[in-house]
Structure 1
Amino acid sequence: MVRRLSERQQAVLFAAVLLTAIGGLYAMTQLLQPAPVQVRIVGSPTLDVRGEGWSIRYEPASTINNTAFGILSEASAQLGFPLTYATFQIPQGVFVTAINGSVNGEGGRYWQYWVNGVYGDVAADHKPLHDDDVVLWSFSASQDGM
């Protein structure tokens, strides 16, 4: 004869299974996070920022801000234009929400970036730069169907 678990035993078993599943999912999300970009000197990068009716160009001789976001943030500090972004933990990364007063969603346009003509496929703070890279931030209709 099979002995049935009491309601209390069932609840404890359910809680144990649930906590194990949550712990496993959390561990998996941590394993899937992108690795941070190692800081290194990048020579002669170019940053172009194109908003509606305005543009900014920044061409440092070199920088240690060697990501698509890092060079944008550096340019913001050096040239004095406002930059707004949100930082996310899962998945890790920054999401640029406004540059120089142009805010995501205005007129169906959003801030997006390209490196050497290739559309950004990861969060901008996870996109490493190399010598002579050209980074374009454009306030335009979404490329990913938003």
Structure 2
Amino acid sequence: MERVGASVRIRRFGLCLVCDARGAPNPLGNCCLQLHEDARQKWGRVERRRRDKINNWIVQLSKILPDSVTENSKTGQSKGGILSKACDYIQELRQTQQQLVDNIKETERLHMDNELLRQQVEELRNKNTMLRAHLQQNGIAVMVSSPGQ
């Protein structure tokens, strides 16, 4: 017996596609077709649960996407649309993250340059103070041109 239509084809060339048996009654008197029908129904339940999980994750994903990314549709989006928007958003986040990393590196570099310049200013102030003191020791008047010197 070959079953075609809403259910999966169980037999082909007289053999059961699931167990390669001829469908003879088993010791309990049942044909393997009932066993295969049960297995098909179980697979259907497993597959339905898998699809439900995937759909739930897609719904979760659509909820965490910012409104500006998902507001193109009034009635909601298709699964493919949600996944596409999520990919675009992830790429945008990666670019933003890279820009932030670059900005942090630039800020650290500028901080180091600033610290180096502060040290140089301090060294020049100390040298200036020593030279003024040396000039005063030799009787040369020192004029202060700007505050802090």
When normalised by structure 1's length, the TM-score is 0.31
When normalised by structure 2's length, the TM-score is 0.30
Q: Which has the higher helix share?
A: 2
Q: Which has the higher strand share?
A: 1
